[in-house]
Amino acid sequence: MTRSYSAFNILREGLRGHKGWAPLWRSPDPKPEYDVVIIGGGGHGLATAYYLAKNHKISRIAVIEKGWLGGGNTGRNTTVIRSNYFYPESTRLYDLSVRLYEKLSREINYNVMFSQRGMMVLSHSEAEMEIAARTVNAMRLGGADAELLEVKDVRKKAPILNFREDARYPIHGAIWQGRGGTGRHDAVAWGYARAADGLGVDIIQNCEVTGFLVEGGRCKGVETTKGKISAGRTGVAVAGHSSVLAEMGGYKLPIHSYALQAFVTEAIKPVMDTVAFSPMTGSYFSQSDKGGLVIGGGLDRVPSYGQRGNTPMQDTVLSGIVEMAPALAKVKLLRHWAGIVDVSPDSSPLIGPSGTEGIFINCGWGTGGFKAIPAGGYLFAHLLATGSHHDISRPFDPSRFPAGRLLDEAAGSGIAH
Amino acid sequence: MQRFPCPFCGPRDEREFHFAGEADKDRPDTTQDISDEAWADYLFNCKNSCGPTREIWVHFPCQEYFIMERDTVTMSVAGTTSVRKDLT
């Protein structure tokens, strides 16, 4: 069976009618015991398993997924990858992710189609331009790339936008991150799954966790629809449903679940080769390689586990797009959907011990979990392997709430998630 | 578009309402010494139930605060009750 992807193997398999390709991963039955069990087969869970096996040489790892791989938020986002945050702690975290994404396709021999087409955050007034300059400086000090664009630079990069002087939100400039861009969301899940499986990780789909095995206050494993599984340490990466697992595990979280919607239009000719976000309208869009515009915006305002959106937010997001690029007003929507995201009080993730011994959490990524998959996995693997934080994840420990050391990125970078 | 029943105004457009927090949280007695953990637990932690839930909402136009019982999966509303004490 052919496992590795290369020009030579594609040619060889082409000549053999593509009959020799190996499945990307096995579908094993769960073993009774593992060193580490990870709940959640989305991007974060699969990346965690991969880095646990690769960086920390842990041999007995299982990923347990109640549905199918990447069927939650990993398959429901708008695929934007960026690190344009305000606080140095956040920039270190998200830029680690961008750096890992930059070498990911080569590292795992699977094309995640990370296209560094750049991301712009528009400014609509002189006052916003001053704040934009502050953000650019903060990003650079934090080690990420950032540039302040004047309106003529914005026009050159994205001529489809609304440059009329009588626009309700006239464009004065933008924060530009050239290393930002988009990736292929399913490929990230599948690529990490294939790489983890290649290192011996058992990926168990259609297996729901129904409880934790807690003895004397310590978690010794999980109960699942496929039986009991013992675990040395258990990691929970189940964005959207983090609170449901918390209740089972006897720990508390500062998380609210909300629906976040996204939209794709019919395919049109290339009109946009970057990502543009307007904080004033709250909407953003990019164009996929197939030609569809991929559109996103803010959260629905009603806490929900319903995995579907409501109409007021559709109004808001789509009117925002029409304001940003009036020429797109008549483009038809092809489909839209919603994912359930974890919203934390300071719009920053929670990585750390859960409060119940033996259970560790990776949650609270809000609307921006996809871009953080490599870093989330890398840091969560470090935590699960060693029992202590990597320097980059330490500020995101849940103990920041009683300590009052919040990392309020909703206020810091003006990005509402 | 969903309509929520305001106890004062009756059924109104969901955009007129604001989620104010979970119901039935016990505020620590701030006249006593409270630990950082107990205070943070009150401020930040929540049940975030998947399914039936009890929440505090406010209807902006009339400023009525009320308890709404609803289901966070089906989004159906079981009922709303005012929190005004002079009504009882």
Q: Tell me how far apart the alpha carbons of residues A132 and B27 are, in angstroms, rounded to a whole number.
A: 40
Domain containing residue B51: CATH number: 3.30.2270.10
- Given this model, what pLDDT does residue A1 score? 81
Chain B residues touching residue A345 (CB < 8 angstroms): 43-44
Residue A277: which of A120, A410, A107, A391 has the closest Cα? A120
Q: Which residue has the tokens 């975290």?
A: A93
Min Cα separation B6/chain A (Å): 15
- Give the structural domain span for B3: 1-7+16-24+45-83
Tell me whether residue B31 is in a domain. Answer: no
Min Cα separation A259/chain B (Å): 11
A414, pLDDT greater than 90: no
The per-residue pLDDT for range A364-389, each reduced to its tens digit, is 999 999 999 999 999 999 999 999 99
The ipTM is 0.95
Q: Tell me how far apart the alpha carbons of residues A83 and A100 are, in angstroms, rounded to a whole number.
A: 12
Q: Name which of B45, B51, B55 is nearest A253 (Cβ-Cβ).
A: B45
Residue B26 contacts A where some CB pair is shorter than 8 Å: no
Q: Tell me how far apart the alpha carbons of residues A122 and A60 are, in angstroms, rounded to a whole number.
A: 47
Chain A residues touching residue B50 (CB < 8 angstroms): 241, 243-244, 257, 305
Tell me whether residue B40 is in a domain. Answer: no
Tell me whether residue B54 is in a domain. Answer: yes
pLDDT category, A149, cuts 50, 70, 90? very high
Average pLDDT over residues A98-103: 98
pTM listed for this prediction: 0.96
Min Cα separation A306/chain B (Å): 4
Q: How are beta strands B10-13 and B3-6 bridged, if at all?
A: antiparallel
Q: Tell me how far apart the alpha carbons of residues A390 and A378 are, in angstroms, rounded to a whole number.
A: 9
Structure tokens given for A396: 């995101």
Contact status, residue A266 vs residue A110, Cβ threshold 8 Å: no
pLDDT category, A412, cuts 50, 70, 90? low
- Given this model, what pLDDT does residue B84 score? 86
The per-residue pLDDT for range B62-72, each reduced to its tens digit, is 999 999 999 99
The per-residue pLDDT for range A247-261, each reduced to its tens digit, is 999 999 999 999 999
A335 pairs with which residues across the strands?
A: A264
Environment class of A103 (CB within 10 Å of its CB; exposed 0-12, middle 13-18, buried 19+) = exposed
- Given this model, what pLDDT does residue A411 score? 65
Whether residue B14 and residue A253 make contact (CB cut-off 8 A), yes or no, is no
Tell me whether residue B77 is in a domain. Answer: yes
**Any residues with CB less than 8 A from the CB of A216 and at least 6 apart, and which?**
none
- Given this model, what pLDDT does residue A413 score? 61
Average pLDDT over residues B30-59: 96
Testing the interface with A: which of B12, B26, B44, B54 to mutate, by most A Cβ within 10 A?
B44
Min Cα separation B11/chain A (Å): 16
Tell me whether residue B57 is in a domain. Answer: yes
Whether residue A305 and residue B72 make contact (CB cut-off 8 A), yes or no, is yes
A352 pairs with which residues across the strands?
A: A361
Whether residue A257 and residue B48 make contact (CB cut-off 8 A), yes or no, is yes
Q: Tell me how far apart the alpha carbons of residues A251 and A297 are, in angstroms, rounded to a whole number.
A: 31
Average pLDDT over residues A180-185: 96
A416, pLDDT greater than 60: no
Whether residue B40 and residue A302 make contact (CB cut-off 8 A), yes or no, is no
Q: Name which of A243, A311, A401 is nearest B48 (Cβ-Cβ).
A: A243
A28, pLDDT greater than 90: yes
Tell me whether residue B50 is in a domain. Answer: yes
The per-residue pLDDT for range A231-283, each reduced to its tens digit, is 999 999 999 999 999 999 999 999 999 999 999 999 999 999 999 999 999 99
Give the Cβ contact number of residue A144 at 10 Å: 23
Tell me whether residue B35 is in a domain. Answer: no
Whether residue B72 and residue A304 make contact (CB cut-off 8 A), yes or no, is yes
- Given this model, what pLDDT does residue A308 score? 85
A417, pLDDT greater than 60: no
Whether residue B48 and residue A303 make contact (CB cut-off 8 A), yes or no, is yes
Environment class of A15 (CB within 10 Å of its CB; exposed 0-12, middle 13-18, buried 19+) = exposed
Whether residue B73 and residue A302 make contact (CB cut-off 8 A), yes or no, is no
Chain A residues touching residue B28 (CB < 8 angstroms): none
- Positive or negative: CA dihedral A263, A264, A269, A275: positive
- Positive or negative: CA dihedral B10, B12, B14, B20: negative
Chain A residues touching residue B36 (CB < 8 angstroms): 402-404
- Given this model, what pLDDT does residue B88 score? 54
Whether residue A401 and residue B39 make contact (CB cut-off 8 A), yes or no, is no
Q: Tell me how far apart the alpha carbons of residues A244 and A249 are, in angstroms, rounded to a whole number.
A: 9
Residue A303 contacts B where some CB pair is shorter than 8 Å: yes
Name the closest residue on chain B to residue A242, using Cα atoms.
B48
The per-residue pLDDT for range A208-222, each reduced to its tens digit, is 999 999 999 999 999
Give the Cβ contact number of residue B79 at 10 Å: 11
Min Cα separation B29/chain A (Å): 17
- Given this model, what pLDDT does residue A2 score? 83
- Given this model, what pLDDT does residue B87 score? 62
Average pLDDT over residues A52-60: 97
More confident residue, A383 or A1: A383
Q: How are beta strands A61-64 and A275-278 bridged, if at all?
A: unpaired
The per-residue pLDDT for range A300-359, each reduced to its tens digit, is 999 999 988 889 999 999 999 999 999 999 999 999 999 999 999 999 999 999 999 999
- Calculate the average pLDDT of chain A: 95
Name the closest residue on chain B to residue A252, using Cα atoms.
B45
Whether residue A312 and residue B45 make contact (CB cut-off 8 A), yes or no, is no
Tell me whether residue B73 is in a domain. Answer: yes
Residue A408 contacts B where some CB pair is shorter than 8 Å: no
Q: Tell me how far apart the alpha carbons of residues A97 and A362 are, in angstroms, rounded to a whole number.
A: 15
Contact status, residue A137 vs residue A130, Cβ threshold 8 Å: no
Min Cα separation B77/chain A (Å): 12
How many structural domains compose chain B? 1
Q: Tell me how far apart the alpha carbons of residues A185 and A182 are, in angstroms, rounded to a whole number.
A: 9
Whether residue A302 and residue B14 make contact (CB cut-off 8 A), yes or no, is yes
Q: Between residues 48 and 87 of chain B, which touch chain A (CB distance below 8 Å)? A: 48-51, 53, 55, 72-75
A164, pLDDT greater than 60: yes
The per-residue pLDDT for range B2-41, each reduced to its tens digit, is 999 999 999 999 999 999 999 999 999 999 999 999 999 9
Min Cα separation B55/chain A (Å): 10
Environment class of A217 (CB within 10 Å of its CB; exposed 0-12, middle 13-18, buried 19+) = exposed
